[in-house]
Amino acid sequence: MGIFDRQAGHGCEQVVFCSDPDTSLRAIIAVHSTRLGPALGGTRFKAYENDDDALNDVLRLARGMTYKNAAAGLDLGGGKAVIIGNPKAIRSEALIRTYGRFVDSLGGRYLTAEDVGTTQTDMDLIRRETPFVTGVDPLHGGSGDPSEATAHGVFSAMTTVVDRVWGEPDLSGRHVVVVGVGKVGGFLVARLAAAGAKVSVADINDEAVRAAVAEHGATAVPVDQAHAVQCDILSPCALGGSLNAQTVPELACGAIVGAANNQLATPDIADQLERRGIVYAPDFVVNAGGVINIAEELAGYDRSRAFARVACIAENLRSVFEIAERDSVTSEIAAERLAERRMQDVGRVSLIKTRFDRARSDHSRSER
């Protein structure tokens, strides 16, 4: 399939190929949708097997950001970028700043952020070339590491789920199994313990498990058995694809609410969960706290305002469950419908020209 057909297949507005042999920079920026606003999404720095894989990945990830940002209620579209190559081998100040110049050349249609393989230091370097970057150092007006905000969003989503399933928006006494106690999982365990939940944890990193047990009274469970522990909520906070044909029949939870991206190994897993009567909170709705937090940088970052907006994930998730019930579809499909409806309804608002818009364009014409 040709490049344009692949772009169209993903419904992507614009794909930009960036090359600078002097710094070994080869990057692709995919602006999937600007219907709700500038396309926000991170830059992944990765050694892809080949350029085709990189293009497929950036198109897929950019579409995911459009849905995540729309469902989160942000006035932002979705995009993503990949820098092709092993970051350990080719990262340099010149390469990152050259990439920043390419981001700048899009004039704000694409806003970048940190992703797998890039760091806050990279964002600070990009900031020296363009204002169209988020997740920079708090010293430069940024919001810093988004993990605590993401955990805050996951916790808020859990309150909606316990209310729906057990009729009480209170996590006290609920048993939650957190799989992956890294940056997000670690903050989440602390919040759950403070709320009086019974917390079990699993991680391939023994040190992380020991810390959760010692600091928050969590119970350690083996990694390969964690998904099968009898509990109220299973919270995948490690890798994607953990809900699959092998694990779903063994699940013993009432609901699944976690931070990990792409938890469903294949789309039909959502139907399997539904048949088993397990409530699934779609990951891209639940884990939007990070992106909501960095989006606040665009208005001048304020932590308490950002965290208040992140808490709206509880309400977004309620809407998802209402759509699922009304349309008799899985929560995953309902979440996609929520995002699509917002793009359709709110997206057309900008088509309505006001007197103010006209005055502004008249003014800029007279300035020229």
Q: Would you please indicate which residues are annotated as catalytic (active-site) residues?
A: 80
Q: Site for ligand NAD (CB under 6 A): which residue of 211, 223, 298, 311?
A: 223
Asked if 235 touches ligand NAD (CB under 6 A), the answer is: no
Write the DSSP assignment of 269-333 as a string of letters. Answer: HHHHHHHTT-EE--HHHHTTHHHHHHHGGGG---HHHHHHHHTTHHHHHHHHHHHHHHHT--HHH
Choice between 239 and 308, CB closer to ligand NAD: 239
Rg (C-alpha) for the chain, rounded Å, is 21
Least distance in angstroms from the C-beta of 294 to ligand NAD? 9
For residues 27 and 238, which CB has a smaller minimum distance to ligand NAD in the complex? 238
Shortest separation between residue 279's beta carbon and ligand NAD, angstroms: 20
Q: In this chain, which stretch among 121-129, 133-141, 237-245, 343-351 interacts with ligand NAD, using CB under 6 A? A: 237-245
Cross-strand pairs, 31: 14, 79
Q: Is 183 in the site for ligand NAD (CB under 6 A)?
A: yes
Distance CA 54, CA 46 (A): 9
Residue 80 touches ligand NAD, criterion: CB under 6 A: no
CB of 344 to ligand NAD, least distance (A): 25
Alpha helices in 167-224 (DSSP H): 183-194, 206-216
Minimal distance in Å, beta carbon 208 to ligand NAD? Answer: 5
Q: Least distance in Å: CB of 47 to ligand NAD? A: 18
- The two tokens of residue 11 are 């419904």
Among 205, 230, 266, 344, binds ligand NAD (CB under 6 A): 205
Q: Is residue 209 part of the contact set for ligand NAD (CB under 6 A)? A: no
- Residue 312 and residue 307: Cα distance in Å, rounded? 9
Does residue 74 bind ligand NAD (CB under 6 A)? no
Could you say which residues in the range 254-293 bind ligand NAD, by CB under 6 A? 259-261, 287, 290
Cα distances (Å, whole numbers) of residue 243 to 155, 258, 272 = 20, 11, 10
Q: How many residues lie near ligand NAD (CB under 6 A)?
A: 25
Q: Closest separation between CB of residue 79 and ligand NAD, Å?
A: 16
> Nearest to ligand NAD by Cβ — which residue?
182
For the CB of residue 275, give the shortest distance to ligand NAD in the complex, in Å.
Answer: 26
Q: Is 69 in the site for ligand NAD (CB under 6 A)?
A: no
Q: Is 117 in the site for ligand NAD (CB under 6 A)?
A: no
Contact residue for ligand NAD among 94, 204, 252, 359 (CB under 6 A): 204
Q: Residue 179 interacts with ligand NAD (CB under 6 A)?
A: yes
Rounded to 5°, angle at Cα 189 from 262 and 80: 30
* Angstrom distance (rounded) from CA 241 to CA 272: 14
Please report whether residue 136 would count as binding ligand NAD according to CB under 6 A. no
Query: Which residue, chain included where needed, has tokens 């950019």?
Result: 62
Given strand 219-220, what is the order of strands in its sheet? Answer: 219-220, 198-202, 175-179, 231-236, 253-256, 279-280
CA atoms in the 13 A half-sphere facing the CB of 177: 24
Which of 238, 295, 313, 314 contacts ligand NAD by CB under 6 A?
Answer: 238
Which of residues 98 and 287 has its CB atom nearest to ligand NAD in the complex? 287
* Identity of the residue numbered 329: V
CA–CA separation, 99 vs 130, rounded Å?
10
Output b/e per residue, 172-185; b: 16+ Cβ within 10 A: eebbbbbbbbebbb
List interacting residues with ligand NAD (CB under 6 A).
146-147, 150, 179-185, 202-205, 208, 223, 237-240, 259-261, 287, 290
